[in-house]
Structure 1
Amino acid sequence: MMSFFSLTSERIAVVTKNRTYRYCDIPCMEFDSPSKELIVILCENTIEVLGAYVSAVNSGHATMLLSNDMNRDLLADLLDTYKPKWIVGLDAFEGYAWQKDKLVRAQDISQVIHKELAVLLSTSGTTGSQKFVRLSYRNLKANAESIITYLSIDASERAVMNLPLSYSYGLSIVNSHFLASASIVLTDESVMAQSFWSLVNEQKATSLAGVPFTYQMLQRIGFLTMDLPHLRTLTEAGGRLPVKLVELFADYAKKHDKRFFVMYGQTEAAPRISYIPHDRVLDKPGSIGIAVPGGELSIDAETGELIYYGPNVMMGYAECLADLANADEMHGVLHTGDTAVMDDEGYFTITGRLKRFIKLFGLRLNLDEIERTLEKEFHIAVACVGNDDKLVILVEEESAVEPVKQAVATLYKLHRTAYKVKAQDIPRLPNGKINYVAIKETSV
């Protein structure tokens, strides 16, 4: 097959704190086999891992991207389940031998992998699930080209890449910029570190991507007063950013001649589904915008579910090795699981999750809506979980517990035995999203 990424250019591809790499300098790995095999890469934001990913996709084999810091027992279960031919980023594993720069399976096994399968990404973000999204080369290319179009990415762009490569948002930054012959500044440092901002300025980074938690941190560290003359574009995805912060960063961008894009997506769509054009964010701060180029959105008339249609919709899920042989089961249609409404200009707003509803004393409650209402009222982080017996609300400040209790009683007319409000740190996944599973395990 033709290589997905071109690695012949003399243009700058990657900048790290230690070195600059042209496309032709990216360190490649060999994955040589007469039949299509599975490669597992344990991801860190290093040039070696990035080179392994680029080589893996160009090889025509299928690549499973996992976080390097995932639990080793869970990793062992995954490796036993999927039996990859090669493992990058692990020193030893039973049944594998070290060969130059990776582990190689000692025994040949009979397996069939669909010719179009390119990348496998975890559905949960927790890296512990054995359920993966199956993305084809077409899925990756279609979404990358769509992102290039609406963000106007050209070869002059230099994006900060500090999101995990195993996270679909981070992966899309690499894919879109490499396909546009642009550059990335590769780092694993946090936006909280002064050295991160030194790198951003020294390397003249032009864009910064973040999840909601990133933007909460940016506000706290005084980002809005920083001198960042080369930074032209801010993008936000990976979860709902409170309207107050959307307006704050959109206003900042407008005043400083920058662009702020609010985006919506799912791993199942490789991952981008919609965006708000940067010049409309202040007009539509609570929405997810319009479909990305090449895609379409509609709302199911009966359930209110948001449905996406596009060439970036996954082939389907995999839960075992045999599933890697399956062809496209989705046919370009993704039921998002989110409920939404559309305004008269065709902009969509998420109203909740189909599965994020509970019923207390006959009252149907939308947990996402409760979160949004309380966040807007008190300007604090809020997480809601529950079942049909009890609503649990987490806040991170003890001083907010009583006011939130009173607000819930007033707004939703719930008896005090039907809900509780707790002050504690809200657990988050590596990608910054709220870890509702962890909250339910300890609080409900």
Structure 2
Amino acid sequence: MTVQPELAPVSFAAGLARHGDRPAVLTAGSVLSYAELAERVEQCAARLGTERRLVLLAADGELDTLVGYLAALSGGHPVLLAPGDKPAALASLTAAYDPDVVLRPGGRTPLLEERRPGTRHELHPDLALLLSTSGSTGSPKLVRLSRENLVANAESIAQYLGIRPEDRAATTLPLHYCYGLSVVNSHLLRGAGLVLTGLSVVDPCFWELFRDRGATSFAAVPYTFELLERVGFAEMDLPHLRCVTQAGGRLAPEQVRSWAATGRRRGWDLFVMYGATEATARMAYLPPDLAEAHPGCIGVPIPGGSFRLDPVPDLPHAELVYSGPNVMLGYAQDPADLALGREVEELRTGDLARRTPEGLYEVVGRRSRFVKLAGLRVDLGQVERILAGLGVTAAAAGDDERLVVAAAGEPDPGLLAKVLADEVGLPRGAVVVEAVDELPRLGNGKVDYPAVLALAPAAPPAASAPAGTEGPGDVRRILAEVLDRPDVGEDDTFVSLGGDSLSYVAASVRLERALGHLPPDWHVTPVRDLAPRPRARRGRAVARLETGIVLRAAAIVCVVATHVELFTFQTAHLLFVLAGLNFARFQLGGERRPRLRRQLRSLGRIVVPSVALILVAHLLTDDYTWANVALLNGMVGPQHLTSQWHFWFVEMLVYVLVAVIALMAVPWADRAERRFPLGFALALVGIGLLSRYDLVDPGLPKPAPVFWLFALGWAVARCRGTAERVLVSVLALLSVPGYFGSTLREATVVAGLLLLVWVPRLPVPAGLRRVTAWLAGASLHVYLVHWLVYPPLLAVHPVVAVVASLAAGVAYWALTLRVAAALGRWWARRAPGRPGVPDAGGAEHPAAGTPAGELTAPAQAPR
């Protein structure tokens, strides 16, 4: 380990005090001068220490995030910016890079979690900042940026935007996104002000704050302009507005021309810009006076930068290559890469471009936006331009089998397909045109091309391998099959594709077989980064599966065997712990409202198969009532145990999920959980213990008696260090004994909890790997159907009754998956393409094919 003897600061972060009493940060309730900001930054920097360390900053839109960022830079500590509202991404980056210090939102200044004294990393002297590539938060692939990168790009931006000390920029984009960060850096460099807000541009309070604080600019991505149209921005009275900047994806030329004309009429400039995280932020800008005449151009290189055009074999256009002092040092894939110096001298953008006679650069396509069909190389961008010439807004995608076009509005798909086939020279059967109300879009407002491709019926697979025989190249196919998502892209993750705890079981087993291993954070790792390892030799006797999967499978077998009286080993309450674990693991990231919709849909995936099965049981037997069908027996059923209590587990699970989903829909609870993830979980444990110890007044409502176990599982998912694991373990050891009146039952729950806390994987016989996964995935369905299956088989043999119950549950699980998939495809055909959801700043994160919204899965499927 090498310790740098001197901490070299980033100049604009270390020199805040030189701007004196000028306003630095303006919020709805306060104004902080540069001198006051410098004082807070110095205090935080002192807490970070004098030895150079790797700092992970959980970024949100609050002042303490800004203070933590500037403190790390001014102290010479490399800082890794991560989204504070996405626990899965934070956990992934923490596990991948093992930071020395973690800064979290904490009010006036960030909370500092010192994970060790000093550092265990070798950090290159030039390294200043680490950002996730193209907004793909949570990916272990990071961009390494130097002090020179940050200062040079901030200086270039400040120069061409003409930023003055009197300017004030509203923070409409997240700090962990390079575009939002560049706004901060360039304004602090010039001593200008930041109007700090997390409000969306569709919120009237945003514009009230904008006017009150005299804001002169704001940053926008393409989707922001759709929102601006909705709120009548073009006619707003904003007397101080001087410029609007746009980046984060291509804005359609007609929109550029329209907004530039609006700006000219209203007295502000539109700066269309082009950039990438790998270039710190910006590479080019279009001078505002040229925007109306050349709306399709990215403009000229930023001051200090330059472009060249490199020919590409077999393509009519050249690749755009950028050089300048803001080009990154290189990528980082793991902590060892933090010691590396410069590996990149220029940036190959992957964009195809040309230079106009006026000296402006225009991007005309992507190297990756070509497909080869019927022996012809087809430019998908050209297909879209052909249709635009016909007055049709469209998006084109394709593979080796077909060209698929989504055409917005009410076109004639057959006529368009014929025109395209003739224009491009393709067989008519290779062109599919689908009419849609709106083009499908990612969370950043960009066209969702995988979704466009998925509009057409799937092409017949070529020699598809059976499940369980996959190879390393089958990651996308596995996820597509498990999640019934034909639109899996290289930047997608299991979570972003809508995976939940049941599909997690199936996917993890198949992926581990295909890749030879699975990293702990595989569910939030992009497909492109799930790389294979050398395969172990055949005939291995033992496989290692995730502890939660093994426990779920074992628990449901024990539940059925206990009811059959083959043996007695009660494990149902351990399943509530696993339910809480999975709820926290898959359900608590992303924005509150979209997350609520997903949670409710997932709750439906629990309720619908349960109600359907119980309805059948009610019609076939006299054991159940309509209260059972409605999942209300726990509230209105008999107090003594009868057959009507058979489904108590499902009812309690639904009650608990309804309660926590409702709780997390409350804004203050959502904010509290994001800021204090483990503390929030422990608070829920405390509430549950009121019921466990019967401390609630009899006249008041009290939580379900299993709620504290669910909350303990939630807390397990939030443990990040040894001290937190010890704390949750102690809580389990103190609270579980004495509750059930059975030492064996209590020991089972405690043992399961401790395994989840301390042991990530458990060994199982290799031959039982797939069976274990099936049982874990089908655990709820096994629980439902076994009440109908085992009674008539007891006379044959208890073992037969258990095996038949398990098999019937797996079959019912498979049936529900097929029905759900069919309904999903039917719905997709009816509503093919919904626009993305804006982020907290009212804009969308530009990402190369990565949804910027939720790195979360729907609510965990039941056990």
TM-score, structure 2 normalization: 0.47
Shift of 1:184: 1.2
1:76 and 2:91 aligned:
yes
Shift of 1:282: 1.2
Which of 41, 44, 48 matches 2:64?
48
Shift of 1:213: 0.8
The amino acid that maps onto 1:58 is: S
**Identity of aligned pairs, percent?**
38
Aligned residue pairs, count: 432
- Compared CA separation, residues 156 and 74, structure 1 to 2 (3 A): closer
CA distance in 2, matches of 1:220, 1:416: 40
Q: Secondary structure at the match of 1:300?
A: strand
1:11 and 2:27 aligned:
no
RCO greater where, 1 or 2, for CA within 8 Å and sep 6 or more? 2
Equivalent residue number for residue 334 of structure 1: 347
Shift of 1:343: 1.1
- Compared CA separation, residues 40 and 427, structure 1 to 2 (3 A): farther
Q: Which moved further from structure 2: 219-228 or 398-407?
A: 398-407
Q: Are the counterparts in 2 of residues 90 and 103 from structure 1 also a CA contact under 8 Å?
A: no
Shift of 1:366: 2.5
Equivalent residue number for residue 112 of structure 2: 102
CA distance in 2, matches of 1:416, 1:218: 41
Equivalent residue number for residue 25 of structure 1: 36
CA distance in 1, matches of 2:333, 2:450: 19
Shift of 1:264: 0.6
CA distance in 2, matches of 1:425, 1:413: 25
The amino acid that maps onto 1:322 is: A
Measured on the aligned residues, the alpha-carbon RMSD in Å equals 2.5
Equivalent residue number for residue 220 of structure 2: 210
Q: Deviations over 1:114-142 (max 9, x none)?
A: 11111111113131321111110100100
Equivalent residue number for residue 273 of structure 1: 283
Which of 381, 395, 399 matches 1:387?
399
The amino acid that maps onto 1:246 is: V
Q: Deviations over 1:278-331 (max 9, x none)?
A: 111112110000101111111013451001110010000001100111001113
Gaps of 5+ in 1: 92-98
Equivalent residue number for residue 89 of structure 1: 104
- Compared CA separation, residues 361 and 113, structure 1 to 2 (3 A): same
Q: Are the counterparts in 2 of residues 36 and 115 from structure 1 also a CA contact under 8 Å?
A: no
Shift of 1:411: 4.2
Q: Are the counterparts in 1 of residues 439 and 447 from structure 2 also a CA contact under 8 Å?
A: no
Q: Are the counterparts in 1 of residues 244 and 269 from structure 2 also a CA contact under 8 Å?
A: yes
CA distance in 2, matches of 1:102, 1:439: 45
- Compared CA separation, residues 67 and 73, structure 1 to 2 (3 A): closer
Which of 122, 126, 130 matches 2:132?
122
Q: Secondary structure at the match of 1:345?
A: coil
- Compared CA separation, residues 129 and 422, structure 1 to 2 (3 A): farther
Shift of 1:407: 5.7
- Compared CA separation, residues 323 and 417, structure 1 to 2 (3 A): same
CA distance in 1, matches of 2:412, 2:34: 53
Equivalent residue number for residue 66 of structure 1: 82
Equivalent residue number for residue 95 of structure 1: none
CA distance in 1, matches of 2:238, 2:422: 45
1:355 and 2:361 aligned:
no
Shift of 1:90: 7.2
CA distance in 2, matches of 1:286, 1:20: 40
Q: Secondary structure at the match of 1:80?
A: helix
Equivalent residue number for residue 219 of structure 1: 229
CA distance in 2, matches of 1:417, 1:340: 28
1:177 and 2:193 aligned:
no
Q: Which moved further from structure 2: 271-280 or 218-227?
A: 218-227
CA distance in 2, matches of 1:218, 1:419: 34
The amino acid that maps onto 1:7 is: L
Shift of 1:76: 2.1
1:318 and 2:327 aligned:
no
Q: Which moved further from structure 2: 431-440 or 78-87?
A: 431-440
Q: Are the counterparts in 1 of residues 25 and 193 from structure 2 also a CA contact under 8 Å?
A: yes
Which of 144, 149, 155 matches 1:139?
149
Q: Secondary structure at the match of 1:54?
A: helix
Q: Are the counterparts in 2 of residues 156 and 182 from structure 1 also a CA contact under 8 Å?
A: yes
CA distance in 1, matches of 2:209, 2:449: 34
Q: Are the counterparts in 2 of residues 39 and 61 from structure 1 also a CA contact under 8 Å?
A: yes
CA distance in 1, matches of 2:176, 2:421: 42
CA distance in 2, matches of 1:11, 1:308: 36
- Compared CA separation, residues 3 and 311, structure 1 to 2 (3 A): closer
The amino acid that maps onto 1:235 is: T
The amino acid that maps onto 1:358 is: V
Q: Are the counterparts in 2 of residues 392 and 443 from structure 1 also a CA contact under 8 Å?
A: no
Which of 301, 306, 309 matches 2:323?
309
The amino acid that maps onto 1:16 is: T
CA distance in 1, matches of 2:355, 2:242: 30
CA distance in 2, matches of 1:170, 1:297: 24
Shift of 1:53: 0.8
Matches within 5 A, 1:394-433: 394=406, 399=410, 402=413, 405=417, 408-409=420-421, 411-414=423-426, 415-421=428-434, 423=436, 426-429=440-443, 431-433=444-446
Equivalent residue number for residue 499 of structure 2: none
Shift of 1:434: 4.3
Q: Deviations over 1:197-229 (max 9, x none)?
A: 111111111112101111122123321122222
Shift of 1:371: 3.9
Gaps of 5+ in 2: 1-7, 454-479, 488-863
Shift of 1:376: 6.3
CA distance in 2, matches of 1:437, 1:65: 28
- Compared CA separation, residues 100 and 44, structure 1 to 2 (3 A): closer
Q: Are the counterparts in 1 of residues 421 and 431 from structure 2 also a CA contact under 8 Å?
A: no
CA distance in 2, matches of 1:65, 1:401: 48
CA distance in 2, matches of 1:376, 1:203: 44
Computing the radius of gyration from Cα coordinates, the structure with the larger value is 2
Q: Secondary structure at the match of 2:270?
A: strand
Shift of 1:262: 0.8
More strand by share: 1
1:295 and 2:309 aligned:
no
Q: Which moved further from structure 2: 142-151 or 416-425?
A: 416-425
Q: Are the counterparts in 2 of residues 244 and 376 from structure 1 also a CA contact under 8 Å?
A: no
